[in-house]
Amino acid sequence: MTQHQRLLIIDFGSQVTQLIARRLRELNVYCEIHPFNHVSDAFLRDFAPRAVILSGGPASVCDAGAPMPPASVFTLGVPVLGICYGQQVMMHCLGGRVERGEGSAEFGRAHVTPADDPLDLLEGWFESGREQVWMSHGDHVAALAPGFAVYGTSPGAPFAITADKARRFYAVQFHPEVHHTPRGARLLGNFVALAGFTGDWTMGAYRDEAIRAIREQVGDGKVICGLSGGVDSSVAAVLIHEAIGEQLTCVFVDHGLLRLGEAEQVVSMFRDHYNIPLVHADESALFLGALEGVSDPEKKRKTIGRLFIDVFQKHATETGGAEFLAQGTLYPDVIESVSFSGGPSVTIKSHHNVGGLPEKMGLKLVEPLRELFKDEVRSLGRELGLPESFIGRHPFPGPGLAIRCPGEITSEKLDILRRADAVYIDQIRKHGLYDEIWQAFAAILPMRTVGVMGDGRSYDYALGLRAVTSVDGMTADYYPFSHEFLSETATRIINEVRGVNRVFYDVTSKPPGTIELE
Ligand code: XMP
């Protein structure tokens, strides 16, 4: 749908391919990531990229059947940048030689120094005579393809930076997209500049384009938007309302798994502040009834997803036959869902939003945020005038407290969890930490523990507290609260919430943990 100058990232399965996209978006360059096995010659022709980046990846070009791009990547006449595995692919395809890693693998920090000959990609890059970069490769280039020369070396990588100036092919062994290559963004900036990108990807332009696309998709049809009160669905709703006004009805499903006071806040924001038609569907009895006795997390998500759709479909009929369901699906949801091995079995994680949409659904999806990262959604929200208090809210999962209550869900546990979570978040706000944290929440653990309170013995629930920092929810680190904060918070929770006698703080990063406990 986009009219912007486009860059294509061909993904070979690196853990950090998404970071390439993020760096480029920060440079106001529109790009899309597509797995190598979805990129055919015809796809390339239609996509018409102004430049192509070949990502890193875990495979070895020395293996039979190694992932390769279509041959026409190198005859399009546009600049191509190969990163790590992408460099090896380039050499392999263009007549160079790659050798297996035995003994020459290199992981971690390295320093690259320039060769004598200048290169447009490196314009202003070697400020201090050498640059720190992040290496992570097993195999290495042993002989350059014809036309290529070396423009930067490190002690362990004689071909750290290589290029064929005439064809504007660039290939680097390190990862410019990661934070450990501190000036990597500058290098990517040089690449898009030499490819002629003018930085035309702005939020204002995106908003106008998205509104046009929504009108085109929906025509005079009716749309219902599943509202969770989180940033994504709120921004989607306001954007769609701007596009089609009264054709939109928001349905806020209270599944009985919301936090304290959440339903009231959402209703007042949309109905009173925005005057957007809103159905507040209190379906807590339906959801909690179906979840009774269910402790498997996947079953919880599937049950909740199925009921969400039933409820949406019911309201689609009641609102005069809506044919569209709008969701706040984000780009990482879309990308994460495309399996590396590809093929027909790819799973689309637009489902993630409501915990698993059924395969067959009578409603067509409207997903105006599917090209955006979370922080971009926040800037779009600002562009649309949403209050800062809403834009800055921590993400909250579609299945709500169900996945913060490991094991069986009971109304007693939910009640304790709601009150404890409210105290925890209040503590975080009081200490001015809310905006530093990506997401913080309490979870009620599936165990009882012995305590001593007053002169008596208690046998109550234990609570887990989680707070993480993250850029996009894909990776995360636990937030390093002070001991004072933790003990003050634990004391407050135990004093103020009956039923809890012990508090744990989760110090696991993602990976290996996930953000939610289930
Ligand atoms: P995990 O736990 O996978 O979470 O590290 C990453 C982010 O996604 C949210 N999350 C969900 N959101 N439906 C959602 O709408 C889900 O089933 C779901 N599971 C996790 C989580 O809160 C975090 O922001």
Question: To which H or E segment does residue 92 belong?
Answer: helix 85-94
Question: To which H or E segment does residue 88 belong?
Answer: helix 85-94
- Taking the C-alpha atoms of residue 403 and residue 401, their distance in angstroms, rounded to an integer, is 5
* 492 has a pLDDT exceeding 60: yes
Residues 422-430, mean pLDDT to the nearest whole number: 98
Arithmetic mean of pLDDT over the chain = 89
Shortest CA distance to 54 belongs to which of 176, 142, 143? 176
Angstrom distances, CA of residue 206 to CA of 154, 200, 376, 398: 41, 10, 10, 26
- Taking the C-alpha atoms of residue 147 and residue 285, their distance in angstroms, rounded to an integer, is 69
Please tell me the residue having the least CA distance from ligand 1 atom 7.
473
Backbone angles phi, psi at 193, to 5 degrees: -65, -45
For 208-238, what is the HEC assignment? HHHHHHHHHHHCCCCEEEEECCCHHHHHHHH
The model's confidence at residue 336, banded by pLDDT at 50, 70 and 90, is low
Residue 173 contacts residue 184 (beta carbons within 8 Å): no
Q: What is the pLDDT of residues 188-230, one digit of tens each?
A: 999 999 999 999 888 888 899 899 999 999 999 999 998 887 8
Verify whether ligand 1 is closer than 6 Å to residue 368 (CB atom).
no
Residues 82-91, mean pLDDT to the nearest whole number: 97
What end-to-end distance do the CA atoms of the chain give, in Å? Answer: 36
Q: What share of the chain is helix, strand, coil (3-state, %, to 5)?
A: 35, 25, 40
Residues 121-133, mean pLDDT to the nearest whole number: 92
Residues 408-423, mean pLDDT to the nearest whole number: 97
Which of 131, 137, 140, 177 is an active site residue? 177
**pLDDT score, position 344:** 27
Respond yes or no: is residue 175 known to be catalytic: yes
How far is ligand 1, taken at its centre, from the CA of residue 28, in Å? 27
* 343 has a pLDDT exceeding 50: no
How far is ligand 1, taken at its centre, from the CA of residue 516, in Å? 6
* 233 has a pLDDT exceeding 70: yes
Residue 316 CB contacts under 8 Å (≥ 6 apart), including other chains: 222, 224, 322, 323, 325, 362, 363
**pLDDT score, position 353:** 47
Shortest CA distance to 81 belongs to which of 62, 46, 56? 56
Residue 110 CB contacts under 8 Å (≥ 6 apart), including other chains: 132, 133, 134, 135, 154, 155, 156, 157, 160, 174
Ligand 1 closest atom vs CA 476: 5
**pLDDT score, position 335:** 60
Ligand 1 closest atom vs CA 438: 24
Ligand 1 closest atom vs CA 395: 24
Verify whether ligand 1 is closer than 6 Å to residue 514 (CB atom).
yes
How far is ligand 1, taken at its centre, from the CA of residue 397, in Å? 5
Q: What is the pLDDT of residues 300-324, one digit of tens each?
A: 999 998 998 889 888 888 888 889 9
Residue 221 CB contacts under 8 Å (≥ 6 apart), including other chains: 247, 322, 323, 324
Verify whether ligand 1 is closer than 6 Å to residue 297 (CB atom).
no
Question: To which H or E segment does residue 186 belong?
Answer: helix 184-194
Residues 378-392, mean pLDDT to the nearest whole number: 90
Please tell me the residue having the least CA distance from ligand 1 atom 4.
515
* 401 has a pLDDT exceeding 70: yes
* 34 has a pLDDT exceeding 50: yes
- Best of 18, 373, 377, 515 for a ligand 1 pocket test (most atoms within 8 Å of beta carbon): 515
Burial 383-404 (b: 16+ CB within 10 A, else e): ebebeeebbebbbbbbbbbbbb
Question: In this prediction, what percent of the chain has a pLDDT beyond 70?
Answer: 93
Ligand 1 closest atom vs CA 516: 2
Q: What is the pLDDT of residues 168-195, one digit of tens each?
A: 999 999 999 988 899 999 999 999 999 9
Q: Half-sphere exposure of residue 240, counting CA atoms within 13 Å on the CB side?
A: 34
- Taking the C-alpha atoms of residue 121 and residue 431, their distance in angstroms, rounded to an integer, is 45
Residues 489-505, mean pLDDT to the nearest whole number: 97
Verify whether ligand 1 is closer than 6 Å to residue 510 (CB atom).
yes
Tokens read off for 187: 């290098």
Please tell me the residue having the least CA distance from ligand 1 atom 22.
397
Q: What is the pLDDT of residues 439-479, one digit of tens each?
A: 999 999 999 999 998 889 999 999 999 999 987 777 789 99
The count of other CB atoms within 10 Å of the CB of residue 180 is 15
Backbone angles phi, psi at 459, to 5 degrees: -140, 85
Respond yes or no: is residue 84 known to be catalytic: yes
**pLDDT score, position 340:** 42
* 337 has a pLDDT exceeding 70: no
**pLDDT score, position 15:** 76
Verify whether ligand 1 is closer than 6 Å to residue 406 (CB atom).
no
For 300-343, what is the HEC assignment? HHHHHHHHHHHHHHHHHHHCCCCCEEECCCCHHHHHHCCCCCCC
Respond yes or no: is residue 250 known to be catalytic: no
- Taking the C-alpha atoms of residue 453 and residue 457, their distance in angstroms, rounded to an integer, is 6
The model's confidence at residue 376, banded by pLDDT at 50, 70 and 90, is confident
Residues 5-16, mean pLDDT to the nearest whole number: 91
Q: Where does 347-423 show beta strands of DSSP type E?
A: 364-366
Which of 4, 31, 84, 140 is an active site residue? 84
The model's confidence at residue 359, banded by pLDDT at 50, 70 and 90, is low
